[in-house]
Every structure is written in C-alpha cells, then in structure tokens.
Structure 1
C-alpha cells in the first residue's frame, strides 16, 4: 500500500456535533465511555443529541504554553448507546466511540458547544501483513494472565486476536491499557496506523519493564 491508503472505516457522520468539554478525557473508536450528565448545559446538549442523531463528542481540554487551556482539534465521534435519566434531571450515559474526527470551527458556543466536524482518515503506509505483526506484538505485551485476573486476561487476548481490524485492536488497547494522558493524546491524534502502533508498543514495553 502507498501512503494514500486509508482505513476502511466509513461510519456516516453529521457535519456538526455537540461537544462535551472535559479535562484529559480520551475516547477511542470501538470503546465505551460511561458519563454522568449533571450540568445544565450538558443536560441541554444531551436532549439535543437524543432528538437528532444521538451523537456528541468529547472536547479534550489541555493546558497550553501560556497557562491557559485549549481544546484538542481531534476527537472521537460518540454514539449514545444507552441513556438513563434520573428523577433529579441528571442522566447516566454510555457513549460508544465510532470514528476519529477533526473539530474545524464552532457553529455554536452557548448554551453548549456545537462544532463543525469532518472525519479524520487513518493512513496505512505498509502491507497488511506487517500491520498484523504489530497487532500480534502488542497483544503479546499485555499483562501476564497469572498476574491479573487470570482467565479474564486470557479470554481478552484471545478475543482481540480474532478481531480482523488491526486499527480497532490498536484503539481498544490504547483506551484500556495506556494510562498516561500524554500518550493517549498522541495515540488519538496520530493519523498513521503504523506510528500509532509504534507509540503503543513503546508504552506497553515501558509498563512491562516497570512491573
């Protein structure tokens, strides 16, 4: 494959999407993020999303060099898989990441943010055999089954080996096994799948050495 080859991911997206701003929160495609919605602006955001396409994204707030905060220009479009509203007006939401997106501009800032968005395509630069090798190497670096939940870890590794999409496996491992926010940020923002795996492998090797 050449550098213009891209992921097969084609989940349809709207042109605009509500944004829930959170500090150091990273959602990846294929993963589930539980949220508790209690602020009034996000209650309004949730109601808007449920009435339209059931989608919103996380706007990750990070500190900038001047001491203030910026939003990352990259996020993951999230689909509301479950929503339970409480008597006090708060809600428990399960948000499923479906596809990386670029936040281009703001269509609305109050009472909640709505961004103009576009899909962020994944670039794949090498043959699938090499990508699958990176996938297998990453799975081999998962915590030893004897040291964490035994059968559960073995079952997880087996299930991930069966997933044919190496991009999805990389995202699942990034979400569940990477703890440093700076590394999660790099993994979310990197468009090249091989480079994502390089970042992931370095982090998993570091964790294994520290164990």
Structure 2
C-alpha cells in the first residue's frame, strides 16, 4: 500500500495505481491500515492537484475509504475527528474549485447521515464554526451545492441539544434563512426534500435566543 500511494503521483500510471488501490481497500484490514497511516492526509493534497486525472482518481479513492467499511470509518473519525474535519473544511469545503466543493459537501452528507457515524455527527453539528461554513455553502450560486449543503445544514437545525451559540446564529439569521430555504427547490420534484425543508423552516421559526453560559 505504501508503494501504491506513491504511485498515485505518477501521471502516466495514476489510473492503474488508483484502480489497484481501490481494489485493495475493499478488504477492511487494508482500509484500516491506510486510514490509520499518514497516507490518508495525502488525499487532501491529491484532490486539489491541477491535473484532473489525479484529482478525480484521488477523490474516488477518498470516497471509497470513507464509506465502504462502516465500523472502521466510525472508529477512524471518532479518534481523528478534530484534525480530520479541520482539514476537510479548510481544504475541500472552502476550496476555490467548484468541483471540489461540490464533491466534498456531497461526501460530507453521506458520512454524517450514516448511522454508524451518529456520534461523530452529533459533535459536528454542535460546532459554530462548522455551521458558518454550511451557511456560506447555502448561499452559493450553484443550486447543486445549495441542495447538498441543505442536507447537512438540516442536521444542525434538527439537533435537539443545540448549543446556545448555534441557536443564536440561527435566530440572528432567521429572516435570511427562511427566505433562502423557501425558494430552494431541486430540479426534480422531491417529496422527501420538501418535507425536510418544511420541518427545518418550522424549527427555525420557533427558535428563541438563548443566553450564553
């Protein structure tokens, strides 16, 4: 695996190395080795490379690493939550590259909405800094990013134990959020999306400001 990860930087062979790498991490013990090694941090750099083939291949491998083996991923995120999400947010969600931002917010939603990661999700949606990032993604010009951002944003709103700072940010921005979300619709009719949106709108409308401890 050490050799394969280095091969992912080889412009002429990257697709072959990437395919072999993904075949290897189909085995849970191999995926665990990669996640627990320093190699996992390299993907943040690979995904941002200007070479499209390397970046796209790295993104595919990164997604496979973080979604295939549920229990292994949950353990990894629990033990590495602080640095992982700090790097994820700063390198991917805040990227100047539209494709990277779109892929990153979609993958984040897949990770946080997975039941295996419920403990990590609860901590994530208690962060004021993370909420601010999601609110910025909600006002993107791209509807695709807005829709994917909503699926993560709704977790902050649905949290029944919202910290006071989260509640107060939502209250302060209530009118803007209500207008924005009221106009947000996917291209195709989606009853589940509309139901979730209605619930989010009701929750935000009913919030009262809290005194910070």
State whether TM-score is above 0.5.
no
**Normalised by the size of structure 1, how large is the TM-score?**
0.27
Q: Which structure shows the higher strand fraction?
A: 1
**Normalised by the size of structure 2, how large is the TM-score?**
0.27
* More RCO (CA 8 Å, sep 6+): 1
